[in-house]
Amino acid sequence: MTVLTTNKQDNYNKIHMSDITKEGTIIAIDEIITFDSGFTKREFVIKTTDDGDYPQDIKLELVKDKTSLIDKYNIGDRVKVYINIRGREWNEKYFVNLVAWKLEGQEMASAPVAAPAEVSAEEAEEIPF
């Protein structure tokens, strides 16, 4: 439950900076789109990794000054995406947008590299190649 206060900025942050996150692997990154009005957006898709047995392909968008947040990531990178849900009506149709406002790269635990086994002189002579 969101408890609103008399401070307008606090209320804005509680309502608009939601705690919705999704984790996944980036599977598509589109180019920046600039509209005639000057508004810019960039869409990308993640395959979720936090949905158990049923991963989902989810299209998200970055808008305005946030379009560059994805620049340091590549397809195949794991990310945690912070999302705001936006809805609007246009010509009696309703639309929902998932607007990303923060991305965090997931630390990949690198597999330890096994040290090469030492081969004795006798074993080296037995190797057929």
In a domain, 2, yes or no: no
pTM of the model: 0.67
Share of the chain above pLDDT 90, in %: 62
Spatial distance between the Cα atoms of 31 and 25, rounded to a whole number of angstroms: 18
In a domain, 3, yes or no: no
In a domain, 103, yes or no: yes
In a domain, 80, yes or no: yes
In a domain, 118, yes or no: yes
Q: Give the CATH number for residue 94.
A: 2.40.50.140
Burial class (CB within 10 angstroms; exposed 0-12, middle 13-18, buried 19+) of 82: middle
Helix (H) or strand (E) holding 4: none
pLDDT digits (tens, 9 = 90+) for 9-48: 555 555 555 679 999 999 999 999 999 999 999 999 999 9
In a domain, 46, yes or no: yes
pLDDT digits (tens, 9 = 90+) for 83-93: 999 999 999 99
Q: Inform me whether the pLDDT recorded for 110 exceeds 80.
A: no
Question: How many domains in the chain?
Answer: 1
pLDDT digits (tens, 9 = 90+) for 39-72: 999 999 999 987 788 999 999 999 999 999 999 9
Domain that holds residue 97: 8-126
